[in-house]
Structure 1
Amino acid sequence: MGYDWLRARSATIHGEPCFLGISDQTGNAVLGMPGYITDDSSHPGYRPAEFLLDELQDEDVEAQPGGQAVLADLRRRLASLNSGRSLVFGAPGRMGGVGYSARLSPAARVEAMNFAAAEAEKRAADASADMICWVYALEGADYALDRALRTRGYARISVGADCHLPIEWASFDDYLHSFSAKRRWSIVRERRKFAEAGVMIERHGPEVLGPELAALELQWRHKYGRKADLIETVSDYRELQENVGDALSVFVARQHGRALGFMTFINDGPVWWARFPGFDYSMTPQIYLYFNLLFYHPIELAISEGISSISYSMGSYETKCSRGCRPRHFLAYVRTPGDPSLAADLELVDRVQRRRFDRIDQKYAGHGKG
C-alpha cells in the first residue's frame, strides 16, 4: 500500500524526489523513507515555513511571556532563510514515511535510523537546504525515529493532530448513545434533515473519480487558498485509479442525481484513513452534508464491517472531536543548518500546540459534552 500510494501521490508535493534506502552488509534492505527537496513552489504541507506555524495565531501565544514577539520573530526568520529549499521526509497526504525491515530489533532500528539521518544531512548540505524535517510522525508510533533524531539535536514539534476515531461500538445506536443528550439530539436532527432533503450517499471505488468530482474538490481547495486546476486534478485521479485501485473508497452524496460532495478513504486493513473531499458550497447548509458524509454514514458502515478505527487527519479539530475523535499529535523533527538557533526557538510552537490539543481533548472527552 505504501509503495502504491507514493507512486500515485508523490507528484502532488511538487518537490524533487529524494528517497533514501539503507541496506545491511549483505545487501538486504533494512530501512526506507520517501523524501523531497521542496521550495516556495511546493505543497504548503511540505514547506516548513508554512506547516511549522500554519495553525498558530497571535492569540494562541498570549499566555507565553513575550510569546507574540517570539512568534513574529519566528515568522520573519522562516521567511528569510536564504534558499527557501528544505529536505522533507514524509509521505503524501500528511503521513509519516519511515519503513523498517520486520526482522530488525528495536536497537537495530535506532542504529539504522541514525545512519539514515547522517546520510540525510549530507544530502541536505549537497542540496543547499536550509532545513531538514521529518514530518507527520504520530507521537509514540516510532521509537527509533524519536530516539535517533533527538540524540542528533533535532527539535521535536507538534505541528497538528490526527483526529482519530476508535470504532468501539456494536451498532450506530451505541455510537449515538455514547454522547450527551444534547449532542445526541443534534445528531438525530442532522440525520433527519439530510434524509428529508432527499440526499443519498453511495460508496464507490476510484472509478467514480472524474471531472464531476474534481470540480467539487477544486471548490474545497480554492476555499482554503490552494491552487489547483481541473486538468491536473483529473490527472491525479488517474494515478490513484492505476496505482491504489480498490484500496480507495469514495463516498458520494447526490441529490436528484447531482453530486453535492464526496469523501475519500484509504482502506488499510482494519483502519480507514480519510483523504481529500469535495463540496458544492453553493447549496444551503441546512442539510448537514459535512457531518453525514464524513461521519455518520462512514461510521455506520465501518461498524458493520468490523473496522477498528478511522483517522480523519488534520484540521477542524473541534468539529471532529465533537463527533467522537481524539487528537493524536503529528510531530515534525526539525534541524536548521541555515539558522542553527531556530529549531530550539520553535519549541514555543510545541508548548502552545500541546496545550491547545489538551484543551480540545478535555472538552470533548465525553464525546461532545459541553
Structure 2
Amino acid sequence: MSDAGTHATGYTAQVLPPTARPTAEDFSGLAGPDVIWEDARWCRFTERTDLHEVRYLEIHENDRVVALAPLLLTRKAGGLLFYDPPRLAGTAGAMAEPELLEPADQERWSKLTGALPADRADHYPSLTLATFGTHHGVAHPPHRTPAQRLAVMAALPGLLTDAAAELDCRSSALLYVGEPAAAEVDRTAAGAGYAAALLGAEGVYHLAESSWEAYLAGLSSRRRTRLRKELRDYEQSGFRTVVRSGPEAIDDEVVALQVAHRAKYGLPGGDHRVRRDFDGIREELGESCVVLGAERDGRLLGFVLCLRTGEALFARTAGFAPEAQGCYLALTYHEAIRWAVEGGIRRIHYGMAAYEAKFARGCELQPRWGWFAFHGPDADTYREVLSLQSQSIERRLERVGAPATAVPSRTPSPGADR
C-alpha cells in the first residue's frame, strides 16, 4: 500500500496494491448504495475488463477511511473511449460536437486536432478517476454528511495528481462529476493544473406517483397526447412488453440482439465481448438485473437492460432488431416508466446523449463535468481542444433548452465574448 500524498485539506490518500479488491465488509460505502455504480458488485464487474487496469484510491482523514475512489489505469491507446483521457480529448462524437462551434472555432478545432498524434503515445500511461457507467464512482460511508462528502470531492484533484505521479502516468482525469460537487472540485482542480470540460448530461426521470393513472394525470396535455400516440403505434404494430428480473433475464436472445445492434452502428465488440460483458453482469449483479423486452409473435425484437437499487433504475444497455423500428421510444420511456412507477421506483437514470428525446419526455438533464491534466510538450494544445470541446457540449445543452451552469473556471468574465 503506497501513499499518494497529503494536502492542505488534511486528507491523505493511498493507492491500494493491484491485488486489493475492497468489499462491502471492508468499506461500508460499497454496501447497497443508492447509486449502482458505487456498489461493491459493480467494482467486481469493472475489474473483469482487459482494457484498463483497475486500482483504488483510499482517502483518509485523521487516520479514518472517508472515501474510496476507483482508478482506471490505461497503459496505451485502446481503452474504452469514455475513460481514456488522451483519446477522449479531441475525438468528435458523443462528447465533442465541433459542428456546433462558430466557423472560426471549427477551423481552429480541425487545426489543433489534426496536429495531435493519432496514437497520443506521449500521454500514456494515463490515469482516470471514474468507473464504467459514466460516473465518478466515489463511495462514501453512509454516515458522512453532504458537507463532508463535498470536502472529500474537493480534495480529489490534488490526491489524483499524486497518484498519477506515483504510477508514472503522463496524463490524468477526474470524470463524470455532477452538481453540487462539480463547483467544489473545479475550484481545487484549476489550482492543480487541470482543465475543465463539460462532458454532457445524464438524463434522470423523477417519479413521484405510485400508479400509472396518477402519472398520466400529472402530464401536460401535449405530453400525454404524444405518449398515447407512441404507445398506440407500439401496440398496433403487434408489440407487447415483457419484464424479466434476475440473472436468467439475460439470455441468448438478449445477447444476439446486442451483438446485432452494435454491428449495425459500427460499435466495437462482437459476440465474444458482448457475451463476456453480459456474463459479468449476470454473475456479479444478477439479482439487480431487469430486462424490459418488446415481443412480437413470440420473438424478442428489442430490449433495455437496467440495474435496480432500492428506489432507482439505471439503464445499462439496449438492443433492437431492424424489425423493431418504432418501438424504441415506447419501450425505453413509456413502458419502462409504467413498470417503474408501479414497482416503487422513484428515479430512472437513462445515461448520457440523446438529449432531445430525453428532455422532451420529461427527463432532467444533469450536467457531468470532467477535468484533464496533460504533461507532454503539447499540453497547451490539449487544453485549448478541451475548451472548444466543452463549448460545443455547452451549446448542445443550450439548444436542447437545458443549459448547464458553468463551473467557476468555465464561467466567462463579465463582458467576455465566448
Same fold? TM cut 0.5: yes
| Structure 1 stretch displaced more, 248-257 or 168-177 | 168-177
Deviation at 1:110, TM superposition (A): 6.3
**Structure 2 partner of 1:68:** 106
What is the SS of the residue equivalent to 1:93?
Answer: coil
What is the SS of the residue equivalent to 2:375?
Answer: coil
- Aligned mates of 2:277, 2:99 — CA distance in 1: 38
Instruction: Check the 8 A contact 2:176/2:368 in 1, yes or no.
Output: yes
Which of 58, 72, 89 is the matching residue for 1:36?
72
Cα offsets for 1:309-337 (capped at 9, x unmatched): 11111121111222111211111111112
Deviation at 1:190, TM superposition (A): 1.9
Which of 109, 122, 130 is the matching residue for 1:83?
122
Percent identity of paired positions between Structure 1 and Structure 2: 26
**Structure 1 partner of 2:18:** none
- Aligned mates of 1:342, 1:271 — CA distance in 2: 40
Cα offsets for 1:222-259 (capped at 9, x unmatched): 23322112233222222222211222211122212211
- Aligned mates of 1:13, 1:179 — CA distance in 2: 45
What is the SS of the residue equivalent to 1:341?
Answer: helix
Count of residues in correspondence between the two structures: 357
Instruction: Check the 8 A contact 1:327/1:361 in 2, yes or no.
Output: no
Relative to structure 1, the CA distance from residue 82 to residue 240 in structure 2 (aligned partners, 3 Å threshold; closer, same or farther) is closer
Alignment of 1:172-187 (within 5 A): 172-176=212-216, 181-187=221-227
**Structure 2 partner of 1:292:** 330
The answer to whether 1:334 aligns with 2:372 is yes
| Structure 1 stretch displaced more, 144-153 or 307-316 | 144-153
**Mind listing any 5+ residue stretches in structure 2 that lack a counterpart?**
1-31, 33-38, 404-418
Relative to structure 1, the CA distance from residue 239 to residue 191 in structure 2 (aligned partners, 3 Å threshold; closer, same or farther) is same
Deviation at 1:169, TM superposition (A): 3.9
Cα offsets for 1:246-282 (capped at 9, x unmatched): 222111222122110111112122221111111112x
**Structure 1 partner of 2:392:** 352
Instruction: Check the 8 A contact 2:365/2:402 in 1, yes or no.
Output: no
**Structure 2 partner of 1:368:** none
**Structure 2 partner of 1:367:** none
Relative to structure 1, the CA distance from residue 181 to residue 114 in structure 2 (aligned partners, 3 Å threshold; closer, same or farther) is closer
Instruction: Check the 8 A contact 1:134/1:332 in 2, yes or no.
Output: yes
- TM-score normalised by the chain length of structure 2: 0.76
The answer to whether 1:130 aligns with 2:170 is yes
Deviation at 1:213, TM superposition (A): 0.9
Relative to structure 1, the CA distance from residue 172 to residue 352 in structure 2 (aligned partners, 3 Å threshold; closer, same or farther) is same
What is the SS of the residue equivalent to 2:78?
Answer: coil
**Mind listing any 5+ residue stretches in structure 1 that lack a counterpart?**
364-370
Alignment of 1:202-241 (within 5 A): 202-205=242-245, 206-241=247-282
Deviation at 1:22, TM superposition (A): 2.4
- Aligned mates of 1:301, 1:97 — CA distance in 2: 27
Cα offsets for 1:178-198 (capped at 9, x unmatched): 555454333212212222333
**Structure 1 partner of 2:310:** 269
Deviation at 1:349, TM superposition (A): 2.5
Deviation at 1:134, TM superposition (A): 1.0
**Structure 1 partner of 2:343:** 305
- Aligned mates of 1:178, 1:110 — CA distance in 2: 34
- Aligned mates of 2:86, 2:53 — CA distance in 1: 17
**Structure 2 partner of 1:366:** none
The answer to whether 1:198 aligns with 2:238 is yes
**Structure 2 partner of 1:48:** 85
- Aligned mates of 1:275, 1:269 — CA distance in 2: 16
Deviation at 1:204, TM superposition (A): 1.4
What is the SS of the residue equivalent to 2:305?
Answer: strand
Please, what is the CA RMSD of the aligned residues? 2.8
